[in-house]
A and B are shown apart, each in its own frame.
Chain A
């Protein structure tokens, strides 16, 4: 049914990058995330799977405080990145988001040139001292986004004119341009065709060398292909979290078992 993950493909030094304790999220009166505890490793791809509406996106958006932009949303509990509480009053969500990049479900390039799309983050964070610096950052990011060869001759063309798969890789390049430590991806391939999906998955595997990647996906094959760790959410609860190989071959919880064999979802 899905490609068997390569067993034993584990990471050498496993330090905890993100740790969440007793996280609750409410949308008004709706209790969307209940008692979630999880430790996410650095330099690892962690997949969030689960039926739709179970709270994967909501939890993902807690990690860079994007939920702050939703009026009715309230987050309770501790989330620490490198031991530092990101919901502490002294933390500026704007700075946090420079450190925790995000790629969205639907490619959302700005209606600007390809160059300006990538340069957007570095410019607002003052990462480049001059134009030459910025050129270097743009090229490097586009290369990391595995899209440099396709766009190097038309950096002035609008980003919105690219194909869906190219737009999504542009958005990934845009996110890595600010040199984040964590990269959050919310179903980054759901709007893409199989070929573009394969390209993005390959890219995610490479990004693991530099970033902690957390990816939400509705495709179990994809989770199995790209991730080392998997978390299964169900109705706002984190049901099971462990090595991807274990989750897919030997789930401990019955709900996980039912989900990956297609009985719920």
Chain B
């Protein structure tokens, strides 16, 4: 009986429990709803929960624990002689699992019977060819000992599966019976069901938090691993980035950090003034009609996938800058440059800055404008001297959020700025960023044990720390700003 069927059976039992519980609560009150503590459907829900939750929890725990248990049983059967030169115990275990799975496939395909498997012997049958015949590829010829382990694996697994089904269904029925015996008019069924809802809500938020914790933990763990293979001092202070897959790499973080900050800076130099002007125009000058057209139009920019911006950088902005600036001025030959990526990324960031700034400018109370106009200030004086200063903290928050977007951007940089890690001031030269290098270190045929790949985690963690810091700062500033008008 497969796990899916077990879960279905449990849910079915629980659903029956719902209707029985509901009916029983009514009859226990003699058909008078007012005698009941809760509405009848709450009694049904409580019964459902009793029948379903313990059984499902046990099923899930079983599903997680069973493979570990089986593995520990089986690995005792594998003697060190079975482990071929250069392979590890985990690889052999993977083979066992694969062969067991292949036997299952063969049975369903009708090539083998259960008794046939009992008699299977590496001396008389070519197991590898047999498995290949049903579409399961095994790396090497199958040893007798490993075949035995695979057989054992199958029997153990199927026995445990049956045990799981029995336990789960028994628990479900038990829960149903217990719940039904507890149904009395004064039983607080609504509280039970509300507690369950609350538990579900808590669980959901825990999932979000735990995922974050998990991500950080894995980053930290792999980073520590990296620092065992490569000195932290070199990572943080070495000025060259030159990974070699043959070893002896220079993995200095500085050139990448520099590239990241440089590209982001150029992007912000473009995005901040334009975005701010758009926001001021939309919130202070534009009529409602213009606003209702321009605001969505600007926000369309935010909906364009970054890869499309990347294309724009690659085929339009890059060559344009090279032909009209870099080459005539003798500043560079490459169409990939910091300026290309920065400009295109700046365009991408305009709606971020304008939309958030527009919100904070609109949040400046009308009384501020009235006060200023009432003193005979013009519109531009009011904007410059009252509205922008009042909205400044919020605008700074918006800019910091845009900056953290810029720092985390990848596609535009790959296609616009290139992949050469360089420490240079020339904005028309190709450079690269942390994100791009994380991708390039992890793609391709890599082994997850060399510093050249593990450095990606150290880079990821550095990036995470930078953007987290920016976000926290931005949130702090924005919150401070909110307080000012409360």
Binding site for B on A (CB under 8 A): 64, 66, 69, 71, 94-99, 101-102, 104, 106, 108-112, 120-121, 124-125, 160, 171, 174-175, 178
Contact = CB atoms under 8 A, between A and B. Distances in A.
Interface residues of B, number: 21
B373 A110 contact: no
B363 to A, nearest CB: 12
Contacts of A109: 371
A110 B386 contact: yes
B376 interface: yes
B371 A101 contact: no
Nearest to A160: B484
Given A111-B390, A111-B484, A121 B370 contact: no
B4 interface: no
B375 A175 contact: yes
A62 B165 CA distance: 83
A232 B365 CA distance: 31
Q: Which of B368, B373, B376, B378 has the most CB of A within 10 A?
A: B376
Contacts of B385: 120, 124
Contacts of A108: 365, 367-368, 370-371
Interface centre among B368, B371, B378, B385 (most CB of A within 10 A): B371
B294 interface: no
B376 A69 contact: no
A97 to B, nearest CB: 4
Nearest to B373: A69
A256 to B, nearest CB: 30
B486 to A, nearest CB: 11
Contacts of A71: 287-288
Nearest to B391: A111
Contacts of B369: 69
B8 interface: no
Contacts of B389: 110-112
Contacts of B365: 108
B247 to A, nearest CB: 60
Contact of A97 (B287, B367, B368, B374): B374
Contact of A69 (B368, B370, B386, B390): B370
A66 B376 contact: no
Contact of B367 (A69, A104, A175, A178): A104
A94 B372 CA distance: 10
Nearest to A107: B367
B207 interface: no
A110 B368 contact: yes
Contacts of B370: 66, 69, 102, 104, 108
Interface of B: 287-288, 365, 367-378, 381, 385-386, 389-390, 484
A69 B369 CA distance: 10
Contacts of B287: 71
B380 to A, nearest CB: 10
A124 B484 contact: no
Contact of A102 (B288, B374, B378, B386): B374
Count chain B CB atoms within 10 A of each CB in A66, A94, A112, A125 and give the residue with the most.
A94
A160 B378 CA distance: 23
A95 B381 CA distance: 13
A97 B373 contact: yes
B371 A94 contact: no
Contacts of A160: 484
A118 to B, nearest CB: 10
B375 A178 contact: yes
Given A110-B372, A124-B375, 5 more contacts: A99-B376, A108-B371, A110-B371, A120-B372, A178-B376
Contact of B381 (A124, A174, A178): A124
B371 A104 contact: yes
16 contacts: A69-B369, A69-B370, A98-B376, A102-B370, A102-B375, A104-B371, A104-B374, A108-B367, A108-B368, A110-B368, A111-B389, A120-B385, A121-B375, A125-B376, A174-B375, A175-B375
Given A110-B390, A111-B389, A160-B484, A120 B374 contact: no
A181 to B, nearest CB: 12
B371 A97 contact: no
A64 B389 CA distance: 26
A108 B287 CA distance: 25
Give the residue among B367, B373, B375, B377 with the most A Cβ atoms within 10 A. Answer: B375
Contacts of A95: 376
B397 to A, nearest CB: 16
Nearest to A112: B389
Contacts of B390: 110-111
Given A69-B370, A108-B371, A97 B376 contact: yes
B271 to A, nearest CB: 26
> Which of A69, A96, A98, A111 has most chain B Cβ within 10 Å?
A111
A101 to B, nearest CB: 7
Nearest to A64: B374
A233 to B, nearest CB: 21
